[in-house]
Amino acid sequence: MKILIADSMEKEAVSEIQKLGEVILVPNDLKAAIKDADILIVRSATQVNAELLSHAHRLKIVARAGVGLDNVDKEACEKRGIKVISTPGASSNAVAELALGMMFAVSRKIAKADFSMKKKTWIKKELSGTELEGKTLGIVGLGRIGAMLALKATALGMEIVYYDPRTPNSTLGRQVNLNDLMALSDYVSLHVPLTPETRELINPAAIAKMRKGAVLINTARGGLVDEEALYLALKEGKIAGAALDVYPQEPYTGKLCELDNIVLTPHIGGSTKEAQIRIGKELIEQLKKELK
Ligand code: NAD
């Protein structure tokens, strides 16, 4: 059995996968390598589209190590009789912790403080921050990650409001509509999938409803936020700050990198040792079931 891993993975996850067969790891020529692969494993970088699949002769399974299948053309897989699987819950805690970390990082200007220290400057006066306790966190999408974040933030003394029409009456927070969430929240954190309905959910109109001192956190998908609208809101001080882990185009090198009041990370939400081990284990379980 040939297993092609197209995107880099932690060695713990790779060694779990090696238990199933011969592993080809991040080849230079993906189209050549996919020819005789039985299983293709991807994270979020590789685009599994009809063109790539046209080079595969034996492929039976496409496995997405992580959540979100927006880089996998499920229809094209279906047409070729290729099964698509993923590990939806394995990285939830890692992403929830990153979202929380970003809230702290923006509020206490941790990245700016670190940057200034490494330039050997002492800018204490510019680094006065705000606290999370007693603030309102608006969670857009109360699924696996949103719910984990709600629990953690509640423990910190935050009040939770959420918008998720498909998860009514949760005890994790108070359900409100999106307009009210934008207006009530000191922190807005996005945890919905990218769909035609959610694309640019955070647009100029939504941003206009945010509080002046509010902070936007996006660890879900880049396409959820209108980049230009966010840039203007941060530049003009309409909102206090933002933190992003995901971008419409990755790797991202756009103009948000120029701003001081935003914390940017390169899509590392699921990149913890623990999450990668869970992903490896969950993948193995699912692959074993499929291969029975
Ligand atoms: P999930 O499916 O468990 O939860 C998503 C929630 O969003 C569901 O409760 C659903 O009802 C809700 N929802 C869907 N459409 C909505 C809409 N239009 N308005 C409001 N709510 C809506 O997903 P999850 O596992 O919690 O993942 C959430 C997001 O995080 C996904 O976009 C996923 O791709 C992303 N993610 C990012 C990383 C990373 O590395 N940064 C890692 C894992 C997941």
Q: Which CATH number covers residue 69?
A: 3.40.50.720
How far, in Å, is the centroid of ligand 1 from the Cα of 141? 6
Residues 256-275 as b or e (16 or more Cβ within 10 Å = b)? beeeebbbbbebebbbbeeb
Average of per-residue pLDDT across 146-167: 98
Task: With cut-offs at 50, 70 and 90, classify the pLDDT of residue 89.
Answer: very high
**pLDDT > 90? residue 70:** no
**Do 73 and 50 touch, CB atoms closer than 8 A?**
yes
**pLDDT > 90? residue 277:** no
**Cβ atoms within 10 Å, residue 8:** 12
Distance between CA atoms of 109 and 99, rounded to whole angstroms? 15
pLDDT at 16 (0 to 100): 82
142 plus 233 within the same structural domain: yes
14 plus 74 within the same structural domain: yes
The residue whose CA is least distant from atom 40 of ligand 1 is 269
Contact 142 CB / ligand 1 (< 6 Å):
yes
pLDDT at 94 (0 to 100): 98
**pLDDT > 90? residue 258:** yes
Contact 278 CB / ligand 1 (< 6 Å):
no
**pLDDT > 90? residue 123:** yes
207 plus 163 within the same structural domain: yes
C-alpha radius of gyration, the chain, whole number: 21
Q: What does DSSP assign to residue 119? A: T
- Type of residue at 7: D
119 plus 43 within the same structural domain: no
The residue whose CA is least distant from atom 11 of ligand 1 is 166
Contact 138 CB / ligand 1 (< 6 Å):
no
121 plus 241 within the same structural domain: yes
Q: Tell me whether residue 267 is one of the annotated catalytic residues.
A: yes
216 plus 96 within the same structural domain: yes
Total structural domains within the chain: 2
118 plus 131 within the same structural domain: yes
Of 221, 227, 278, 282, which residue is the catalytic one?
Answer: 221
Length of the chain as a residue count: 292
**Do 207 and 229 touch, CB atoms closer than 8 A?**
yes
Full residue range of the structural domain in which residue 164 is found: 92-264
Residue at token pair 């709600």 = 150
Task: With cut-offs at 50, 70 and 90, classify the pLDDT of residue 10.
Answer: confident
Classify residue 96 as exposed, middle or buried by CB count within 10 Å of its CB (0-12, 13-18, 19+).
Answer: buried
Task: With cut-offs at 50, 70 and 90, classify the pLDDT of residue 243.
Answer: very high
- Type of residue at 26: V
Q: Tell me whether residue 55 is one of the annotated catalytic residues.
A: no
pLDDT at 97 (0 to 100): 98
101 plus 229 within the same structural domain: yes
How far, in Å, is the centroid of ligand 1 from the Cα of 193? 4
**pLDDT > 90? residue 207:** yes
pLDDT at 13 (0 to 100): 82
103 plus 225 within the same structural domain: yes
246 plus 101 within the same structural domain: yes
**pLDDT > 90? residue 246:** yes
Q: Residue 273 has which token pair?
A: 């040792």
Average pLDDT, the chain: 96
73 plus 102 within the same structural domain: no
Distance between CA atoms of 219 and 67, rounded to whole angstroms? 12
Average of per-residue pLDDT across 148-165: 98
Report residue 252: phi and psi, to 5°. -95, 130
What atom of ligand 1 comes closest to residue 44's alpha carbon?
40
**What percentage of residues in the chain have a pLDDT greater than 90?**
90
Highest mean pLDDT among 16-30, 60-74, 163-177: 163-177
Of 22, 78, 228, 250, which residue is the catalytic one?
Answer: 250
Q: What does DSSP assign to residue 152? A: H
- The SS3 call for residue 100 is helix
The residue whose CA is least distant from atom 44 of ligand 1 is 67
**pLDDT > 90? residue 136:** yes
284 plus 198 within the same structural domain: no
Distance between CA atoms of 257 and 255, rounded to whole angstroms? 5
